[in-house]
Chain A
Amino acid sequence: MHLNELTIEEAQLKLDRREITALELTQACLKRIKEVDSEIKACLIIGETEALKEAKIADERRQAGETGPLLGIPYLCKDNIMAKGWRTTAASRILEGYIAPYDATVIKKLRAAGAVLLGKTNLDEFAHGASTENSAFGPTRNPLDLSRVPGGSSGGSAAAVAANMCLFALGSDTGGSIRQPASFCGLVGLKPSYGRVSRFGLLSMTSSTDVIGPLAKTVADAALVLQVIAGQDGLDATSVPERVDQDAFQRAIQASDWPGLRVGWPKEYFLKELNPEIRRRLEEASEKLEEAGAEIVEISLPHAQYGIPVYYIITPAEISSNLARFDGVGWGLSHPAADLQEFYKKNRGQGFGPEAKRRIMLGAYVLSAGYYDAYYKQAQLVRNLIRQDFTEAFKKVDLILTPTAPHPAFKIGEQVNNPLAMYLEDIFVTGASLAGLPAISVPAGLVDGLPIGAQLIAPRLGEAQLFQAAQFIVEKR
């Protein structure tokens, strides 16, 4: 077995026993990237010298007696998260030449923990998309089938983990962008509770739903990363004070059963139109939960059908505001023009790709006088109904089980000219985002030879419960 194929847990054990060094582990990942990434195109930039230096420091820290879950573990990071001194692109031309002047809080925490940053991964421009095809640098390919997309928007991170270029990767999830690529690439993808992880240093998309989280090979690895990156941060006023309970995570992952667990099966997510093979895989997942002691309960989320329309009003609205700061002044793309208005229009016109432009204009539309009440205000009202649906459901059940995506990975180019079809990819994942709830996608078997994910949703701050049930689904595969 090659070192880059190890899970974090396995590597940690070998590092603790001095069987391997962080340097060897890092070299194995860098070698793998060189071998396969010219085809997969998961990475936008690799910092070999910097990574080797960080690995040596991690080895020295271990020599000095320090231990830690991520000390010496190599990872990749989605390129919408800032790492000091690294080029940061968000896969957009508008950030041309931009160098991050400071670390995102998550990067700072990972540096302190001794994790080794290998490089930055591809994404849909500013995380707008579900396939990683909306990147100014071209699409990433799914390592399990190179003719297919890896999902998105954290597609580069998912492809990199699936191809063993790193031991884990960071993604961001605004409306499914960690969970859906995890489903397409056969990985574990965690969207933590809103506020669980600081957003400071994440390039804002939809500030009311953006969350940073891990893409990992196992549930235990996802838990290890979460315990390092979580925590309140004075630089993000929406981060929450509740601490993660590492012992609870450990107990959750090691538990062999959960007597009395009630798992909700929302009827609105299992309509007759659902791919029968996906339904079958989800039934198998529910059987595994039953073996661990769970009772499956049919529940109703009556406003589920409005998840996509609500999401695609609130998200463009927030994008039109968040992306207003990219104006050619102060950093990034900056072509001269006759006057200020012309300068803005020219640089934004050339700098943003088609999906960013569509979303900015859609946002301007739903926020404009005469349309605000019918679209934006209505969407906020229905968002609260969606949130209440979950609150009601969690009075009856501990967790909710749904598919992550309506189908396995699709072909590159298949729906690139149909933005609405791309939006419908998010049908099962927007609910948890709009309600700020933690959700995880775990591998639930194959459909047409390709992986698909099962999604578990928990009440706010219920990540430990997610890990426990997720482990039941993957363990008995």
Chain B
Amino acid sequence: MAITQAEVEHLAELSRIKLSPEELEKYQGQLSSILDYISQLKKADVKRAHLESGGEIKNSWRPDSVKDWPREEVESALKQGEIEAGQVKTKRVL
């Protein structure tokens, strides 16, 4: 189950990761051998399996109430980025 260098480039693009030419080559080989291995799963007989049997875990509900988070924790979270007028600043999206 080899994947091509072009496919690795596409995956890197989807993943928003810049790779060097050396990395592209290295990951092409490594991802191919991993995919080879995990592809054995296609042989598994899943006729008896269904997606709903999610075990014994149930949904856990709580009231959708607004909670006041400690002010200094909010500030300490925000000040780690670039802030302008109380908003996190990012590059232009459009």
Known: A99-B76, A360-B17. A237 touches B60 (CB 8 A): yes
Judge whether A361 and B60 touch: CB under 8 Å.
no
Name A282-335 residues within 8 Å CB distance of B. Answer: 303, 306, 308-310, 312-313, 320, 324, 327, 329-332, 334
Q: With a CB–CB cut-off of 8 A, which chain A residues contact B57?
A: 194-195, 238, 240, 436
Stretch at the interface among A121-129, A261-269, A374-382: A374-382
Of the residues B39, B41, B70, contact of A310 by C-beta under 8 Å:
B41
1/0 contact trace for B2-44 toward A, CB 8 Å?
Answer: 0100011001101111110001001100110111011111101
Q: With a CB–CB cut-off of 8 A, which chain B residues contact A334?
A: 81-82
Interface residue tally of chain B, by bracket?
35 or more
Q: With a CB–CB cut-off of 8 A, which chain B residues contact A435?
A: 55
Judge whether B41 and A306 touch: CB under 8 Å.
yes
Judge whether B80 and A349 touch: CB under 8 Å.
no
Of the residues A320, A378, A423, contact of B41 by C-beta under 8 Å:
A378
Judge whether A382 and B41 touch: CB under 8 Å.
yes
A460 interfacial contact with B, CB 8 Å: yes
1/0 contact trace for A333-351 toward B, CB 8 Å?
Answer: 0100101110111101110
Q: With a CB–CB cut-off of 8 A, which chain B residues contact A419?
A: 30, 34
Known: A349-B17, A368-B14, A420-B34. A357 touches B60 (CB 8 A): no
Judge whether B51 and A380 touch: CB under 8 Å.
yes
Q: With a CB–CB cut-off of 8 A, which chain A residues contact B14?
A: 361, 364, 368
Q: With a CB–CB cut-off of 8 A, which chain A residues contact B88?
A: 329-330
Judge whether B37 and A357 touch: CB under 8 Å.
no
Q: With a CB–CB cut-off of 8 A, which chain A residues contact B7?
A: 365
Judge whether A237 and B62 touch: CB under 8 Å.
yes
Q: Within the complex, what minimum Cβ distance (angstroms) separates B8 from chain A?
A: 7
A97 interfacial contact with B, CB 8 Å: yes
Q: Which of A334, A361, A379 has the most CB of B within 10 A?
A: A361
Number of interface residues of A (CB under 8 A): 69
A387 interfacial contact with B, CB 8 Å: yes
23 example contacts (A-B, Cβ-Cβ < 8 A) are as follows A84-B73, A303-B44, A309-B37, A309-B38, A330-B80, A348-B16, A354-B23, A354-B26, A357-B23, A360-B15, A364-B15, A365-B11, A365-B31, A375-B41, A381-B46, A381-B51, A382-B46, A387-B55, A388-B53, A420-B33, A420-B37, A460-B55, A460-B56
The 9 closest A-B pairs by CB, nearest first: A349-B18, A330-B81, A101-B77, A340-B91, A345-B18, A381-B49, A101-B76, A331-B80, A361-B11
Chain A residues in the interface with B (C-beta under 8 A): 84, 97-99, 101-102, 194-195, 232, 234, 237-241, 303, 306, 308-310, 312-313, 320, 324, 327, 329-332, 334, 337, 339-341, 343-346, 348-350, 352, 354, 357-358, 360-362, 364-365, 368, 374-375, 377-382, 384-385, 387-388, 419-420, 423, 435-436, 460
Chain B residues in the interface with A (C-beta under 8 A): 3, 7-8, 11-12, 14-19, 23, 26-27, 30-31, 33-35, 37-42, 44, 46, 48-51, 53-57, 59-60, 62, 70, 73-74, 76-77, 80-82, 88, 90-93
